[in-house]
Amino acid sequence: MLSLTANVLLFALAVSGAPTPIELTKRQAPFEVTEQQPWDAGAVYDFRIHSSCNASQAYQLRQGLNEAVELAHHAKDHVNRWGHTSDIYRKYFGTSAPTTDVIGAFDIVINGNKEETLFRCDDPDGNCELMPTWGGHYRGDNASHETVICPTSFFERRPLSTLCAQGYNVRESSRLIFWASDLIHRLYHLPEIGQGFIDHYAEGYEGIVEAAANNSTNTTRDSDGLQYFALEAYAYDMILPGEGCPGPSGPLASETSSSMATATATSAGSASSASATTTASSAESTAASSATTTSAAVAEPSSAGSDSADADDTANGENCHSHADGSLHCV
């Protein structure tokens, strides 16, 4: 009997000390989980296209930008695979140029943060209207992260799939016929991509090849040389494997290959006011009546950027543009 009483007392004590349903609910409340932000939170990997581009323009431009990345990606892969043993690499960069510069120049096009980069299709600086042969221009000091694509580009640029077709070869044709190479050129003028390091150094195909033969220290950061290399490597590896379409061999001519460039090509050159006035004298005379009602920036092609406008100088049969220091650059 005593044992039973003791057991009853022990049970009562145990029950009295058990947690209430409310206490159980409190104890079983779910843990609060805070997720860590990804290390690259906020990065933008797609190029931004301004609302001024209509549906057709935006589609063409998006396709062209995708092909620019594809062209850059293959160029990078070619260098990673072959390095200095590549004849194409030595042709454009010389025998001693570090491959890291070239790999980085293409990688930033592929993987760089594109948060500030903007392509637009309107004509805020008036250059497209004044110079109808221009394919576009870098806005420079007016908007240093923006590139304008003029209407000419949407009629004349070609897809990368036509590389080596329609009479094209790397040596004699313009590197700017294709959306891919033209847009790489324009990207290198943006501070977030070219970073003031990639620029124009040698003039035209012949000048670039000559600079490489002399092992110039600027070959791996020459905007035009990087484009020529990317096109020739893509043609040799992807379009016509083992053959490509490099163009005729033989001694280098004294003139740049741009004098033989396809008329449909345009370049993203700079336009200082002085040189643009010379280039556009006929355009200004025909636009004189409308220019009087517009701002000075429209009366002459904007000189804001270091490479702010395309100038397809059909009168001279050359693709030419001028830099901010007034020097003429023909590609």
Confidence of residue 77 (pLDDT cuts 50, 70, 90): very high
| 37 occurs within a structural domain | no
| 30 occurs within a structural domain | no
| 281 occurs within a structural domain | no
Is the pLDDT at 24 greater than 80? The verdict is: no
| 329 occurs within a structural domain | no
| 5 occurs within a structural domain | no
Give residue 30's pLDDT: 63
Give residue 216's pLDDT: 94
Give residue 301's pLDDT: 53
Is the pLDDT at 117 greater than 90? The verdict is: yes
Give residue 326's pLDDT: 39
pLDDT greater at residue 269 or residue 31 = 31
* Mean pLDDT of the 200-210 span: 94
Is the pLDDT at 132 greater than 50? The verdict is: yes
| 34 occurs within a structural domain | no
Q: Report long-range pairs for 74-79 (Cβ below 8 Å, ≥24 apart).
A: 74/230, 74/233, 74/234, 74/237, 74/238, 75/102, 75/106, 75/226, 75/229, 75/230, 75/233, 75/234, 76/102, 76/103, 76/106, 76/107, 76/110, 78/233, 78/237, 79/103, 79/106
Q: Give Cα 275 to chain centroid, integer Å.
A: 26
The pLDDT tens digits for 270-314 are: 333 333 333 333 333 333 333 333 333 333 455 444 343 344 333
User: What's the domain count of the chain?
Assistant: 1
Confidence of residue 35 (pLDDT cuts 50, 70, 90): confident
Consecutive H or E run containing 136: strand 136-138
| 12 occurs within a structural domain | no
CA atoms within 13 A on the CB side of 54: 4
**Residue in 210, 243, 245 with CA at minimum distance from that of residue 224:** 210
Q: List the CATH number of the domain containing 57.
A: 3.40.390.10
Are residues 300 and 280 in contact, defined by beta-carbon separation less than 8 angstroms? yes
The pLDDT tens digits for 55-74 are: 999 999 999 999 999 999 99
* Mean pLDDT of the 202-217 span: 94
Give the domain extent around 202: 48-251
Is the pLDDT at 31 greater than 50? The verdict is: yes
Confidence of residue 254 (pLDDT cuts 50, 70, 90): low
Give residue 271's pLDDT: 35
Please tell me the least confidently modeled range out of 115-119, 122-126, 253-257, 315-319: 315-319
Summary mean pLDDT of the chain: 78
Is the pLDDT at 262 greater than 70? The verdict is: no
- In one letter, which amino acid is 6? A
| 308 occurs within a structural domain | no
pLDDT greater at residue 281 or residue 100 = 100
